[in-house]
Structure 1
């Protein structure tokens, strides 16, 4: 026998109260005045013994009443035993783990796995009785139903539950269920796992199983219902990316998608399509054998500016939730560029190359003295060009711009000194020049190009014939000697091995570096035919960004950049279910907004007023696409690994599971029986008490 409320047993101390009262009454001496001892002789010895016996019986009965009542409140329970139907069934606390991941969307002739699991869950709730309680844990972890005895609300919760794109594991869900049951005082503690039992959804790959016997004790019973009844036919998109790094309206753009057949069935002449802003832009057909992965390439022409929402989509199969992947790119209508200078005349050729003085050019330019760089909102520009280094009075502002994802084109100016330029490079954490080489205006001893990395994105779409890529080297009179290493890479190198043009990746930011000033006293580079297209491509390259391709999975937290936002409120547009608003005053960190409501794949956009502040692509969690299922033995082995020593029953959803559960359920509560016994003893006590009073007369 066990007690479900053992703390009440401290009340047994109250059984000592009748004993104390009895002992105190024995010490009380009662004076009776009488004139002769003759009357005492009439009191028979047998009557005295009878009175004393009844007093001891009364004491025992009163102690027994207290013992029975305290024991009743402690809820005594015995296992696998019922006293002639007089005991009530032990109360039950049940936790239903419902697999709502998208692998449960497989449809059979009896309905989808998920709908069958929901119906089974509601049937299990119908089997509960008054005084029982239930809670529901979803495998995705998106939400859960707290413990309740309102079975109607529990069934409503299950009816409202939909398939989730968020992945989850049985292991984590079992831990949650055990934590819920640890707070229950009911005798029967049961966990029902309703799933298709994919191997990838048992536990996370990085999870090391350990002894959970303290958390999941042997008095918990686990019932597993496996709904996987057929081998689905499924292909999934495992990856989707854009291959260009420069995005220009009217230019070709290339995408690639990886498609995997995760089933045991072959797919022939299946179609995958490319959509840009909801319009089909390209499509390809393919065939895939079981387990085979295919790389599909798309090429199309960009027809729009602005933020482009792009996705690849497969034809429908048995699991449609893994047939679409998203990415987003920004193609600005005008590339806003700031040029900072030591000497205004140094900007002449750069400005002509970028917009030719035309307002209709795709690049708009604003020029500022370098001394004003600290007071300028650099984040409001798509690209920043610095020509010179002598007038910089705040290096931290430039470093912050780069750290926040800014893009910078850096060139020495006509008045640049080695010491100042070295300091600028050192502050930015890039390779610094070792010395000047050559002489200004010396066209007799010149340097020229040696190698060019034509695979760099800057040279994409630069030549009409890709097979005839070459550059007519300028004559370079005077330059900074740059030896790139670490995070720097050469794009164009000189015959002495130093870098003429290089690139540095700085976390989220990007820096392009020339080793010459764009003036004719240093070289004839500004007069060469490659100068204007190379400068334009450099600015397009700096301004083109692909946001978080496949980095965010459903359920992940987006870190949105809200730096330099002037309005106090951010509007978030989600793929479905409208908009959401966040007050920045409520955030501890003002530069970034953490947004975790990412249960749906698609593009999430963050606005400050009407200005697009940031955006992110969220894609489905691919865990549910791997169609490899656990056997009952596999699940038993898992339970052994976590040292679960209780009872586990694997029940087919098609069998009479009610009978199976009733046969395995144990425990009867005897509190009603104890209350009846206490009432019976109380009646006996009343009868004996009256009899004792008569004997005293």
Structure 2
């Protein structure tokens, strides 16, 4: 018990005065002579004993009444350390990730949690943050104005990130009580971290009534030809008792196909759609699933095919290149080295130097400018190459330096499967195929990365940026590489990477880079638009293309149109990260040092109890009155 005015308790010393008066009173009983004293002695003894008891009871009642009055004026109370602290700081984290769309017992978990916060919050000032917003030292009214409008985000902070961010909101004073209120479903991201000693963490783990979800995981092109494109849609699911779900394919607002996916046997399925490979396709795949709706739609687009411009400058047989690039997706041109038109170089995307004996300085200068403008160069050396001349060009392109040609047979045995040229080319890492060979090769000193190497580890194909170099001639007299299965994916993918056309779709929140084949003036820029959003992305203008990089924007899924001023160029699609579709949760009760609650209401009930102050002065006033009444009863009825 504590006292609001403890100094008044010194008045209890006044209780000693009636005690002293009672003990040291000077009154004496007088003796009166009487004839028959036997009976009177007995009455006198009884009367004196009765009088003494009555006085002691009266004294005790008066002292207790006075003591209760004094204590009542001192205002006794009881309270916890939290309630007595005058320097408190409260920070609230509310998880607004897409998984909070799941239905709880009273509706979507985020909306219910926001409503409960609105109804129960009582702090004078607080700070709060979510996965994509934050407010510091706001009033309760400002908090209420904003919390009900909190929108969903594809991000979800991990528990350690929450603690680090919350620590930034707390002051650095030593005598502050720091309280973090954490409201989340705790999707599995990482294990629980250790809680700092100076922070009190109160946790509300919200749980869905039905932890099941069906989501569109991804879409990709399985195959295509001149007439049709086969799309494969992958559907994923969590939970039990999953039902057959309809799925639809749209081109813009036009319904193209509709089918259903059945999860009665396994938790993932693929569905194939076939569309015409003609003009552009603004695709949207939709399914019907009520629990978590954000992953029920996936946007993609197939732009009208743009041809990649390839120029082969030959001093050796280029028939194999003609066969390789003789498709509709390429605009392939071959020119002999002696009749080269330099004016065509800046308009290309991919240039191949096919075993030139020497590379003159004007061509070297043009190639450097072409490379710096975003173009890609492949150099295939001649067996009679002028080493010094080659080295000057290789140095300009950061590909290293050559030494003399070594007449030694070597096998090409190692493929860097993680290299961009071979990404998604092989279903598994092949180790026992028929290795191509070379009869002679150049030793190279280079810091460029190797995509293919010989059996002794020396490089056969080097790559620096978007430039490539074979360390050996690949004509049929020196190598069987032209007849190897490796030649097609190697050189074909070089051409594909020379113009990084947009993929079917990109993931919001990741760094995405793609090229738009357009020539812009010095003061012209590209913009991305939808009906409701318009922004200028980070972009780098090259000679015949613009490299666009997106990170924080856009922040909404959809198909965006790329414009140069008022001219429409092409489309690009963005979708939310699908990791929120996986409904696996941590158990907040396993978080050591954190107090867990089943609901927001129970959390605030506990906080109110901790902050409550129990006052007892009324009870002592009642006791004082009772003791006075007791004194009156003793005086009246005690004989």
Report the TM-score range of the alignment, normalised by the length of the smaller protein: 0.5 to 0.7
The aligned runs of 1:121-140 (5 Å cut-off) are: 121-125=117-121, 127-128=122-123, 132-138=124-130, 140=131
Residue in structure 2 matching 1:620, options 576, 585, 590: 576
The aligned residue for residue 386 of structure 1 is 353
What TM-score does the superposition give when structure 1 sets the normalisation length?
A: 0.54
Structure 2 residue 295 is matched with structure 1 residue 322: yes
Q: CA deviation at 1:633?
A: 1.7
CA offsets per residue over residues 54-73 of structure 1, 9 Å max, x none? Answer: xxxxxxxxxxxxxxxxxxxx
Change (3 A) 1:404 1:324: farther
Alignment pair present for 1:181 and 2:136:
no
Find 2:242's aligned residue among 252, 264, 267.
267
1:163 aligns with 2:146: no
C-alpha distance in structure 1 between counterparts of 2:159 and 2:254, whole Å:
40
| Cα distance per residue 1:359-408 (max 9 Å; x no partner) | x9962759697999999774x53333334352343758757866987444
- C-alpha deviation, 1:223, in angstroms: 3.5
Other-structure match for 1:227: 206
1:554 aligns with 2:542: no
Question: 1:403/1:332 Cα in 2 relative to 1: closer, same or farther (>3 Å)?
Answer: farther
Q: Write the distance in 1 (CA, Å) between the matches of 2:372 and 2:232.
A: 29
Query: 1:661 matched to which residue of 2?
Result: 607
Contact 2:311 2:334 in 1 (8 A): yes
Aligned residue in 1 for 2:277: 303
Matched residues in 2 for 1:281 and 1:430: separation?
A: 53
CA 1:297–1:376: 2 relative to 1, 3 Å: same
Separation of aligned partners in 2, 1:210 and 1:254: 50
| CA positional deviation for 1:294 | 2.9
| 1:119 CA drift (Å) | 0.4
CA distance in 1, matches of 2:202, 2:570: 47
> 1:160 aligns to what SS in structure 2?
coil
Q: Is this contact kept in 2: 1:406–1:510, CA < 8 A?
A: no
Check conservation: 1:271, 1:283, Cα contact below 8 A: yes
Aligned residue in 2 for 1:692: none
CA distance in 2, matches of 1:580, 1:236: 29
Conserved 8 A contact 1:105-1:113:
yes
Alignment of 1:550-589 (within 5 A): 553-558=507-512, 566-568=521-523, 570-573=525-528, 577-581=532-536
Compute the displacement of 1:428 (Å): 6.4
Structure 1 position 144 matched with structure 2 position 144: no
* Rg (Cα) greater in structure: 2
Rounded to whole Å, the distance in 2 between the matches of 1:514 and 1:538 is 19
Report how far residue 121 of structure 1 moved. Answer: 1.8
Aligned residue number for residue 597 of structure 2: 650
Are 1:631 and 2:631 matched, yes or no? no
- Matches of 2:307 and 2:573, distance apart in 1: 23
Q: CA contact under 8 A between 2:562 and 2:570: conserved in structure 1? A: yes
How far 1:273 sits from its partner (Å)? 5.0
Instruction: Mark the CA change 1:435 to 1:578 in structure 2 (over 3 Å): closer, same or farther.
Output: same
Question: Offset of 1:295 from its aligned partner?
Answer: 5.2
CA distance in 2, matches of 1:581, 1:161: 26
Residue of 193, 196, 200 corresponding to 1:209: 193
Alignment of 1:340-419 (within 5 A): 340=313, 363=331, 365=333, 378=346, 380-387=347-354, 388=356, 390-393=358-361, 398=367, 406-408=375-377, 410=379
Give 1:196 deviation, angstroms: 2.3
1:101, distance to aligned residue in structure 2 (A)? 0.4
Q: Distance in 2 between matches of 1:188 and 1:665?
A: 12
Indicate if the aligned counterparts of 2:449 and 2:464 stay in contact, CA closer than 8 A. Answer: no
Q: Is the contact made by 1:96 and 1:136 (CA closer than 8 Å) also made in structure 2?
A: yes
Q: What is the CA-CA distance between 1:314 and the residue it aligns to?
A: 3.9
Aligned length: 502
Equivalent runs, 1:233-252 vs 2, <5 Å: 233-243=212-222, 250-252=226-228
For 1:178 and 1:228, locate their aligned partners in 2 and report how far apart those are by CA, in whole Å: 26
CA contact (8 A) 2:308 2:329 kept: no
Q: 2:262 aligns with which of 261, 265, 287?
A: 287
* Structure 1 segment 652-691 matched on structure 2, within 5 A: 652-653=599-600, 655=601, 658-665=604-611
Structure 2 counterpart of 1:101, from 93, 97, 101: 97
**Structure 1, residues 297-347: CA drift from partner, whole Å, max 9, x if none?**
6363552356x6556544324112123445566653444334446x7xx79
Q: Give the conservation status (yes or no) of the 8 Å contact 1:196–1:227.
A: yes
**How has the CA–CA distance of structure 1 residues 583 and 413 changed in structure 2, closer, same or farther, with 3 Å as cutoff?**
closer
Over the aligned positions, Cα root-mean-square deviation in angstroms equals 6.1
2:187 matched to 1:198? yes
Instruction: Report the counterpart of residue 596 of structure 1 in structure 2.
Output: 552
* Inter-CA distance 351–213: structure 2 relative to 1 (3 Å threshold): closer
Q: Is the 8 A contact 1:191 1:223 kept in 2?
A: yes
Distance in 2 (CA, whole Å) between partners of 1:329 and 1:213 is 55
Q: Deviations over 1:439-489 (max 9, x none)?
A: xxxxxxxxxxx99x9xxx99xxxxxxxxxxxxxxxxxxx997699998445
Give the Cα–Cα distance (whole angstroms) in 2 for the partners of residues 486 and 557 of structure 1: 23
**Counterparts in 2 of 1:98 and 1:81: CA distance versus 1, 3 Å:** closer
Mapped to 2, the partners of 1:539 and 1:403 lie a distance apart of: 17
How far the C-alpha of 1:234 sits from its partner, in A, is 0.6
Structure 1: how far apart are the matches of 2:282 and 2:338? Answer: 37
Change (3 A) 1:240 1:479: same
CA distance in 2 between partners of 1:105 and 1:433 (Å): 64
Unaligned runs of 5+ in 2: 2-76, 422-437, 541-545, 615-639
